Amino acid sequence: MYLALIGYILIAFLMFFLIKGKAAPISLFIFLSVIAGFVAGYSPTLMNEYIIKGVMQTAPNAVLFTFSIIFFSIMTEAGVFQPLVNWLTKIAGNNVVAIVTVTGIIALVAHIDGSSVPSVLITIGAMLPVYQKMKIRPVVLLCLLACGMGVTNITPWAGPLARVAAVSGLDVNALYHQLIPVQVIGLVCVLVLGVVLGFQEKKRIANNLPIPENLEEPSKNVADSAHSTIESGRLKFSINVLLVIGVTLLLLVTHLQAYVIFMCAFAAAMLLNYPSLKGQEAVMKKYAYGAYMISGTVMAAGVFVGILSGGGDKSILTQMADIVLAIMPNYLGPHLHIIMGIVGGLVGFVIGPDAFFYGIYPLVAKVGTHFGVSWQEMGLTMVVGKNIAMMISPVFATTYLALGLTGVELRDHIRYSFVPVSVVSLIMVFSLVLTGTVPL
């Protein structure tokens, strides 16, 4: 009981500071976990053992983050995805339904690198002028942007799945292979949603209904950022494209470790696009901070995981789960993963991914094991349930970037996007059951 109390206080403090933005996660995971360990009566030697075990569990995902983020950043800056964006925009032409549908596709493609800011800049930079020309409401753009990014964001290097792997010790690439059919279904949902919202907008425009939101032109810097490319020849561009295709195929059809694939791909991309030492140092300085903050946070989470789960059957996490088991009705236990998938979007709406996956996931996963629900099944449903809601969440910083670029108020964005986003989220959660990925 004493250890359980310490665990709940630890998670409460962690979630409070993360939600309020009082400190960086990388510092909180280490500092609060060590304090909790001392309060629990762990000796420095014992804590050292638990922390090493936890960090070794999260280290492969930290390496994956470091190299995958920089690799995709190089590919994006090299303009690998821009021709596809330009081609899709050209195909849409003046067809309202096509324009709205293409918005979702561009969001899907733009978020391949797993970084939200470039995804927002590319999608809004490419589509907002078209929306203004055709008098399409910008809330439609934001809705498709949210759904498209949410579907792509379940890739191994994007964040949520790597957090689950870091806490559970499961292989992130193996987890992603389980989610590929669901991601395909999500892609179809985005296309269908684009068609539905496109016809609604076409009807609204035909009836000359006004646009209630205020529009602002995207700044010149946004346009420049969205379409910036590195001057390079066709051969270099072709090799970059082949490199991206090769990495994708290796991730999908082989059992090679994802971080090994990205380490090799990073080296090739760096040498190809920046042959001089000065150029390589410049690109590392440009992207190293973002890569470090995510990979460093995953490593620091290893301290949290180690302290929380160290001790096996006598660990803090085990005692916390025992309390939940004592008060939770038995008939809910076998379906706990589905419940967490359904409420994941609602819970994720008010708390960030770090608090959600590092604070809530370990506890409910531990509880689920007593009812035959594995850590993998719990993690997959929580990733899918939480993911789609990220770009309508008021605690997600990139939401405000998108709102600022389109001139839409937060309340208008949530009012318009909440139902479509929730429907897509629920379809994807239950598609896990339909595809046999998780049991009902």
Per-residue pLDDT of 160-190, as tens digits, reads: 888 888 788 788 888 888 888 999 999 999 9
Residue 439 lies in a domain: no
Residue 348: per-residue pLDDT = 67
Residue 264: per-residue pLDDT = 92
Residue 111 lies in a domain: yes
Helix/strand/coil percentages in the chain, nearest 5: 80, 0, 20
Residue 267: per-residue pLDDT = 92
Sign of the dihedral defined by the CA atoms of residues 160, 162, 167, 172, in that order: positive
Residue 308: per-residue pLDDT = 80
For 35-47, how does the pLDDT look when each residue is reduced to its tens digit (9 = 90+)?
Answer: 988 998 888 999 9
Answer yes or no: is pLDDT of 322 > 90.
no
Domain region containing 113:
2-434
Q: Say how many domains are in the chain.
A: 1
Q: What is the mean pLDDT of residues 107-121?
A: 77
Q: Of the candidates 282, 305, 418, 279, which has an alpha carbon nearest to the alpha carbon of residue 29?
A: 305
Single-letter residue type at 211? I
Q: Report the C-alpha gap between 111 and 367 in whole angstroms.
A: 34
Q: Of the candidates 163, 176, 172, 153, which has an alpha carbon nearest to the alpha carbon of residue 359?
A: 163
Residue 191: per-residue pLDDT = 93
Residue 284 lies in a domain: yes
Q: Are 67 and 263 in contact (CB under 8 A)?
A: yes
Residue 251 lies in a domain: yes
Sign of the dihedral defined by the CA atoms of residues 173, 177, 182, 188, in that order: positive
Question: CA angle, corner 150, sides to 21 and 387, nearest 5?
Answer: 55
Residue 440 lies in a domain: no
Residue 19: per-residue pLDDT = 64
Sign of the dihedral defined by the CA atoms of residues 177, 182, 185, 189, in that order: negative
Q: Of the candidates 67, 151, 46, which has an alpha carbon nearest to the alpha carbon of residue 106?
A: 151
- In terms of Cβ atoms closer than 10 Å to its own Cβ (0-12, 13-18, 19+), residue 126 is buried
pTM given for the model: 0.69
Sign of the dihedral defined by the CA atoms of residues 7, 9, 11, 13, in that order: negative
Longest dimension (CA), the chain: 73
Answer yes or no: is pLDDT of 143 > 90.
yes
Q: What is the mean pLDDT of residues 116-145?
A: 83
For 220-243, how does the pLDDT look when each residue is reduced to its tens digit (9 = 90+)?
Answer: 444 444 444 434 467 788 888 898
For 326-346, how does the pLDDT look when each residue is reduced to its tens digit (9 = 90+)?
Answer: 777 778 788 888 888 887 777
Question: What is the average pLDDT score of the chain?
Answer: 80
Residue 312 lies in a domain: yes
Residue 259: per-residue pLDDT = 83
Residue 26 lies in a domain: yes
Residue 229: per-residue pLDDT = 40
Q: What is the mean pLDDT of residues 201-210?
A: 79
Tell me which range, 138-142, 277-281, 407-411, is most confidently predicted by mean pLDDT.
Answer: 138-142
Residue 283 lies in a domain: yes
The separation between CA 175 and the C-alpha centre of its own chain, rounded to angstroms, equals 14
Q: Are 221 and 405 in contact (CB under 8 A)?
A: no
Q: What is the mean pLDDT of residues 125-140?
A: 84
Residue 184: per-residue pLDDT = 92
pLDDT band of residue 352 (cuts 50, 70, 90) is low
For 85-100, how does the pLDDT look when each residue is reduced to its tens digit (9 = 90+)?
Answer: 777 777 777 788 888 9
Residue 35: per-residue pLDDT = 92
